[in-house]
Every structure is written in C-alpha cells, then in structure tokens.
Amino acid sequence: MYSDDRLPVLTLDEAHDVLNLLTYLASLDDEAAEEAQRLARELAARVPSREDDINEN
C-alpha cells in the first residue's frame, strides 16, 4: 500500500501543520470553510497539543 519512502502515519509536527492549515481555511468566508472547521475540530481532538509535548520533555 505504501512505498518504502513514505510513512503510513503523520508525525506530530505534520499533524500540527495540517491543523494550522485547516484552521486558516476555516477562517475564510467560502464554501469550504465549514468543512475545514469540522475537520480541524476532529483532528484537534486526536492530536496532542504542542504544550503537552513540551511538558513531557
């Protein structure tokens, strides 16, 4: 399913990047904003915050 040079999961940094992009898209006034907001909420519920990562170190 995946080639040798691709990982089947996102890193935490990649997930935060996607979350940031979705949050930006959700702030726009267009037809995709509502879907971006829904996806951002779902992703945010599953991804540890950057603060959690900092507190563990």
pLDDT tens track for 1-54: 555 677 778 899 999 999 999 999 999 999 899 999 999 999 999 999 877 555
Classify residue 6: in a domain, yes or no. no
Classify residue 28: in a domain, yes or no. yes
Query: How many structural domains comprise the chain?
Result: 1
Instruction: Print the domain residue range for 41.
Output: 12-46
Of 42, 35, 36, the residue nearest 23 (C-alpha): 36
Classify residue 35: in a domain, yes or no. yes
Give how far Cα 2 sits from Cα of 7, 12, 31, 34, 47, Å: 7, 19, 32, 31, 23
Classify residue 2: in a domain, yes or no. no
What is the C-alpha separation between 17 and 11, in angstroms, rounded?
A: 10
Classify residue 54: in a domain, yes or no. no
Classify residue 56: in a domain, yes or no. no
**pTM (2 decimals)?**
0.72
